[in-house]
Copies of this chain bind each other. A is one copy, B any other.
Amino acid sequence: MSTRTELPITPVGIAACCSPLTAGVIDDASAAQLARVFKALGDPTRVRLISLIAAAEGAEACICELTDPVGLSQPTVSHHMRLLVQAGLVTREQRGKWAYYRLVGQTFNALREAVTVGIDVV
């Protein structure tokens, strides 16, 4: 039996916004939510972990496949993964001994909208 655990603490309300970052002045709550997601990505190891999951077969990665490539212990990688799950960027599924991770497309789509600049910039 498989169960989804550690669902994002932050509901993915971020995805309800359209271009919140550059299509008008953002409200405080949306700014806080968006900043939280960006902050979760503001670490080289977490950027690499996201990239590893995206590149994994079926776009799903076991914690057991993530430790070696980033050269960190499993508890440290689990800590990073927990932050990514809490930010709504990744889901975690426990299957037997191992936790498996997937990217949350909805959150990445929302981020994509957020950083889409539809204006005449430098």
Contact = CB atoms under 8 A, between A and B. Distances in A.
Contacts of A54: 21-24, 117, 119, 121
User: Among A31, A41, A55, A121, which residue has the most Cβ atoms of chain B within 10 A?
Assistant: A121
Interface residues of A, number: 49
Instruction: Tell me the dominant secondary structure on chain A's binding face.
Output: helix
User: Among A20, A52, A59, which residue has the most Cβ atoms of chain B within 10 A?
Assistant: A59
B48 A25 contact: yes
Contacts of A106: 122
Given A38-B41, A116-B112, A25 B122 contact: no
A47 interface: yes
Contacts of A104: 121-122
22 contacts: A22-B103, A24-B55, A28-B44, A35-B44, A35-B46, A36-B42, A39-B39, A39-B43, A42-B42, A54-B117, A59-B121, A91-B122, A103-B121, A103-B122, A104-B121, A104-B122, A105-B122, A108-B115, A108-B116, A108-B121, A109-B117, A112-B112
